[in-house]
Amino acid sequence: MSSLQRELERAAGIIKKHDYARVVSHYDADGITAAGIICNALIRRGIQFHATITSKLDGHFVQEMGNEELIIIADMGTAQMNLISEILKDKDVVILDHHTTSLRSSPSQSHVLINPNYAWQSSVEKTKPMYGSELCAAGISYLVARLLGDDERGNVDLAGLAIAGTLGDKLPLDRGINGLILDEALKEGVVTPRRGLKLGDGKVRDLILLSTDPYTPLAGNIEKVDEFLSEVGIDGDKRLEELGEEDERRLCSALLSIAGESKMELREEALFGTTYILNSEVVKNALDFMRMVDACGRFGKAGIGIGLCLREEVLVEEAKSLYMVFQNKLVSELNRIEGAKGEAMKELPNIYYLYVQEKGITGVLAGIIAEYISRGKPVIVLNRKDGANEHGGDTKISARCSKNLVRKGIDLAKALEHAASEVGGYGGGHPVASGASIPEGAEERFITAVDRIIGEQIRAS
């Protein structure tokens, strides 16, 4: 039996012993779908739960869980292993995470940490990537949920949620264990593939107008969109699903060509390819599902996201309108940045960085800029108010870069973790996508440190 299988069975075994669980997960699409999978599996076993979606797991939060007997933490927890081992040492704790951090302690006896980036052997020093590094929290949660089912096919219908979570974290669906999950979902009819534009469902005009991933030079400009569609000869009022592959391919070529004229980094794979229909979910298009759930989390309405995962049809309209509000915010911020013609984005030897005014969009914005606008260096986005909470006014930071830069030695998780700790904050995440919170006023010192550390990473590789 593989060590992953052993750990999954340990996690399922611990969960089955309880009739109540406290579930905590992260507020993005992967975190919410991970929690959604776990909540579905618990309901089906008759295990009651209290689920909380949060942007961070700090000492206060961990302390508050001291009265629970079973705590399931998804999409976070690895970075808080020290705290968890100390405060929750007598509790059953299951952590389903895929974030990397500088681990300082191994889980205690009654705790299970399933993180594809770490293998727990005889000592903490021996941690090394072991299995399924492509897995996200929703994928890991799905594997646990499968073992919580009543029979061999138990909970297989939850695979669509795992796929949506994987899309949310931009991890490959067809590789490694994710490929096995996808194969199972296809075989069981849980999802159906579709070739076409990766724009989601809806009227062609609206989709192009509000699309930010893929991002095109037409985003936010209705006149340009209408002019473009009439040149291509496509009725903007038609729904994308009605077009068919040939028209979608024509649209794709035309979008690629105007992106090329605007020197935008739009690649065909970002625009066109295989998308998935989630046959068991209340929102059928996997991209739409993922984007709606993500928007719910970012607006502090994660309960609606969890509701979607629990197949509450009545929540679809509200989730859709949150997604629309989010896209409008994003598009107007992107138009502002592009309109400022280089004034908004600053360049240092090893990074680009910019401040945004809108809360809750640093990660998404950094991702779009790093992918479609400035691919040459990592992009760091800061928001002074975003991290503010009852414990103080933090500045929230997100960093993103292309995989190509990671191949050149850049690791944003390490860069942000170290730079944040130099200025009294904390950070971490993944080599291509990481985040940090730092005290207000420390921004320029932090940026200088990130630039220096990334320079060191490039020179060391």
Q: How far is the CB of 90 from ligand C5P (least distance, A)?
A: 27
Contacts 24+ apart (CB under 8 A), 174-179: 175/134, 176/132, 176/133, 176/134, 176/135, 177/4, 177/131, 177/132, 177/134, 177/135, 177/139, 177/143, 178/132, 178/134, 178/135, 178/139
* Upstream peptide bond of 214 is cis (omega within 30 degrees of 0): yes
Residues 35, 38, 41: CA angle, nearest 5 degrees: 150
Binding residues with ligand C5P: total (CB under 6 A): 16
Q: What is the largest CA-CA distance in the chain?
A: 67
How far is residue 421's CA from residue 415's CA, in Å, rounded to a whole number?
A: 10
Residue of 139, 165, 429, 431 interacting with ligand C5P (CB under 6 A): 429
Residue of 374, 398, 402, 457 interacting with ligand C5P (CB under 6 A): 398
Q: How far is the CB of 401 from ligand C5P (least distance, A)?
A: 12
114-122, 292-300, 425-433, 440-448 -> range binding ligand C5P (CB under 6 A): 425-433
Q: How far is the CB of 419 from ligand C5P (least distance, A)?
A: 11
Q: Which is nearer to ligand C5P, 162 or 420 (CB)?
A: 420
Site for ligand C5P in 25-54 (CB under 6 A): 26
Q: Is 393 in contact with 444 (CB distance < 8 Å)?
A: no
Q: By CB under 6 A, is residue 139 in contact with ligand C5P?
A: no
Main-chain dihedrals φ then ψ at residue 92, nearest 5 degrees: -85, 120
Q: By CB under 6 A, is residue 132 in contact with ligand C5P?
A: no
Residue of 33, 402, 437, 457 interacting with ligand C5P (CB under 6 A): 437
How far is residue 66's CA from residue 50's CA, in Å, rounded to a whole number?
A: 14
150-158, 207-215, 225-233, 421-429 -> range binding ligand C5P (CB under 6 A): 421-429
Q: By CB under 6 A, is residue 298 in contact with ligand C5P?
A: no
Q: Which is nearer to ligand C5P, 117 or 362 (CB)?
A: 362
Site for ligand C5P in 93-122 (CB under 6 A): 99
Q: By CB under 6 A, is residue 78 in contact with ligand C5P?
A: no
Q: Which is nearer to ligand C5P, 26 or 91 (CB)?
A: 26
Residue 381: which of 362, 406, 361, 409 has the closest Cα? 362
Strands annotated E in 86-162: 92-96, 111-114
How far is residue 222's CA from residue 214's CA, in Å, rounded to a whole number?
A: 17
> Which whole-number Å values give the CA distances from 316 to 132, 203, 282, 284, 319, in the listed order?
32, 17, 7, 11, 5
46-54, 184-192, 232-240, 432-440 -> range binding ligand C5P (CB under 6 A): 432-440
Q: By CB under 6 A, is residue 434 in contact with ligand C5P?
A: yes
Task: Report residue 412 as tokens.
Answer: 């944003």
Chain residues binding ligand C5P by CB under 6 A are: 26, 79, 99, 362-363, 398, 426-430, 433-437
